[in-house]
Amino acid sequence: MALACLVPLSLIAPRVMPRAFVGFASWPGYIWIGLMLLLFVTLLASDVMRLLVIAIRSISTGSPMGPKTAVMLARLQAVAVCGATIVLGIYSIHQGLRPPVVKHLSIALPKLPPTLAGTTLVQITDLHLGVTKSRTFAEDVVRRANALNPDVIVLTGDIVEGRFGSAREDVQVLAGLRARLGVFMVTGNHEYYSGVHEWLPELQRLGIQVLRNRHVTLDASREGGWVLAGIDDWEGDRIEPGQGPDMDQALRDIDPLRPVVLLSHQPRAMFQAADANVGLVLTGHTHGGQIWPFVYLVRLQQPFLLGHHRVKDTQLYVSPGTGFWGPPMRLGTQAEITHITLTPGG
């Protein structure tokens, strides 16, 4: 009961409590949320199996199950459910706390000049720094991203989690990100939840260029270069009326001969990007479902869950995230830092 009471506290702590108390208040409640989800899944699965056993026995014997047998079956079910929940919980926490893997991708980008073949991007997304992800985690991500020596580093939203004062110390580490052409980001829904007017100036002070419905041309001296564009998150319009994504504004006055990479926090931008003939869209947000069976709930809200997709001539990559949100758990997914090499074609 005490842990259940911590659930609402874990959700509001990052926004109202001093940094020193955020982790203490959040971790137990978030773990409880994850365990209750796993308990629900194992209970549902065991109930289906129990009903099948009862039905098969009744058909084979021609008589209903006796009370003693029913009690024994219920006890076995309880032991199995508790055991499975504990095992899955331990495994999920282990997976959630593992360092993100580095995933290497080669993507053929339409209109990319041959002289720009081999251009590399590192995508980092959904760090959620400030609650259950700390400064140490951020330092490791920065070190590993820089070690890849990319041309560009892109952060596709949900970098922060929590109010400015409580999470600022953890986020400072991102000032260490280094790339030949710069570090760029777009807003995610959690930037808005956490106070976008405080966070965006701070992130820009750290050397991160925020693409808010705008674009930049990179490597322009090499056959005209290529375009990196970004749109605001959908939550912007709900929380700050008049904000939110504006694809037309982000792509306005782009040379139609230039290849375009678009940053969007949410994969739902894909269809509009395809209509605009964008070459590649990089997104996050879904966490790949993070904990099965959340994948099915995410699919109700987003058209793409994870990985590499294509609509018309536009390609999409949905990262499972570099961190996690809420429960420090992953089941069926692995956090990643994505290293993308661009080649001509597509």
pLDDT along the chain (346 residues), means of 10: 55 57 69 90 88 79 75 86 93 95 97 96 96 86 98 97 82 97 97 92 97 97 94 90 92 96 98 97 96 84 94 97 93 96 90
Residue 343 phi, psi (nearest 5): -130, 155
- Indicate if the alpha-carbon torsion angle 258, 259, 264, 266 is positive or negative: positive
- pLDDT tens-digit profile of 135-187? 899 999 999 999 999 999 999 999 998 887 778 888 999 999 999 999 999 99
pTM for the model: 0.90
- pLDDT tens-digit profile of 89-106? 999 999 999 999 999 999
Rounded to 10 degrees, the C-alpha dihedral 164/170/175/176 comes to -170
Neighbours of 294 (CB within 10 A): 19
- Domain locations in the chain as residue ranges: 2-96, 99-344
Name the amino acid, one letter, at 309.
H
> Domain spanning 99-344: which superfamily?
Metallo-dependent phosphatases (3.60.21.10)
